[in-house]
């Protein structure tokens, strides 16, 4: 199956422009079975106050962003994962929407909030896996990668492919995804953004990583890019490293103290 990302440069607070731009880039990603967009692709990231994000937060199923992505997913017969600000009652989350040919599927609320995000968003409370039939996917937003427990939980719940929307500002994630995929024997699509907002620069380098930690493709640092790779998600279900090691059976759960 074909998995990919759209590394783009969102325009800060200009949702209409971002939806148009994403729709245009998605035109060139029609072949993808699963396509990932950056964290907060429709609003930009570096909010200077809660008012800004409050004005753009949306409902997961009926919001303007969700509605558009559902239309495109249906039209292209594909799954789309995309970061957005989600409103649930009077709370706002840094979420990743997942839609497919049949419409809305899930909204994942980012569990590990980075820095100023804590001023604007509530943290999510659960980490789960969605079975799409052809593959089981785990959803993750940006800083979630930093905590090994997050992808570990997704792997143990059966994820084959991690859909990772990001707005990376620190340099570590792309190389660390090699370790994350290797230790969990899963695929990952890390979709980052480019550009700068109020002095905060984003590093690009979106990446598709294989179950053996191989970097299938890494995007440039400062230009937009749509990229698609062919993968066999079932490879992620074989957790044998060699004849004697299996990365799930070899976990020494009794020796760990992870409270």
R_g of the chain computed on alpha carbons:
17
CB of 227 to a copy of itself, least distance (A): 23
Task: Give the separation between CA 12 and CA 43, rounded to whole angstroms.
Answer: 6
Q: How many CB atoms neighbour CB 239 within 10 A? A: 16
CB of 147 to a copy of itself, least distance (A): 6
| Percent of the chain as helix, strand, coil, to the nearest 5 | 25, 30, 45
Place of tokens 């992505």: 69
Q: Of the two residues 26 and 98, which places its CB atom closer to a copy of itself in the complex?
A: 98
- 142 catalytic? Reply is yes
* Annotated catalytic residue, options 58, 86, 142, 150: 142
3-state class (DSSP) for residue 193: coil
Q: How many residues does the chain have?
A: 259
Q: Of the two residues 17 and 248, which places its CB atom closer to a copy of itself in the complex?
A: 248
* Annotated catalytic residue, options 110, 150, 173, 181: 110
- 39 catalytic? Reply is yes
* Annotated catalytic residue, options 39, 58, 86, 117: 39
**Which residues of this chain interact with a copy of itself, rule CB under 8 A?**
111-116, 118, 123-127, 146-150, 152-153, 156-157, 172, 175-176, 178-180, 182-183, 213, 242-245, 247, 250-259
CB of 76 to a copy of itself, least distance (A): 32
Q: What is the dihedral of CA 183, 228, 35, 224, to 10 degrees?
A: 100
- 122 catalytic? Reply is no
Task: Give the separation between CA 177 and CA 188, rounded to whole angstroms.
Answer: 8
First to last CA, the chain: 38
CB of 186 to a copy of itself, least distance (A): 13
Give the catalytic positions in this structure: 39, 110, 142
């Amino acid at each position: 199956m074909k998995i990919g990302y759209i590394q783009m440069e969102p325009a800060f607070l200009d949702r209409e422009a971002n939806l148009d731009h994403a729709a245009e880039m998605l035109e060139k990603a029609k072949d993808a079975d699963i396509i990932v967009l950056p964290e907060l692709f429709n609003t930009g990231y570096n909010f200077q106050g809660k008012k800004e994000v409050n004005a753009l937060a949306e409902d997961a199923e009926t919001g303007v962003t969700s509605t558009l992505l559902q239309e495109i997913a249906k039209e292209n017969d594909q799954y789309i994962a995309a970061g957005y600000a989600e409103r649930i009652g009077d709370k706002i989350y840094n979420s990743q929407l997942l839609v497919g040919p049949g419409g809305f599927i899930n909204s994942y609320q980012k569990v590990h909030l980075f820095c100023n995000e804590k001023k604007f968003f509530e943290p999510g409370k659960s980490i789960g896996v969605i079975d799409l039939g052809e593959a089981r996917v785990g959803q993750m937003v940006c800083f979630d990668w930093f905590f090994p427990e997050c992808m570990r939980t997704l792997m143990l719940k059966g994820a084959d492919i991690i859909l990772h929307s990001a707005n990376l500002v620190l340099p570590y994630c792309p190389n660390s995804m090699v370790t994350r995929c290797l230790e969990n024997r899963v695929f990952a699509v890390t979709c980052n953004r480019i550009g700068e907002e109020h002095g905060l620069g984003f590093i690009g380098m979106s990446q598709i990583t294989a179950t053996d930690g191989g970097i299938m493709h890494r995007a440039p640092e400062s230009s937009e890019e749509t990229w698609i790779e062919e993968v066999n998600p079932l490879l992620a279900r074989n957790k044998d490293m060699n004849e004697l090691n299996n990365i799930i059976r070899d976990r020494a759960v009794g020796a760990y103290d992870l409270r």
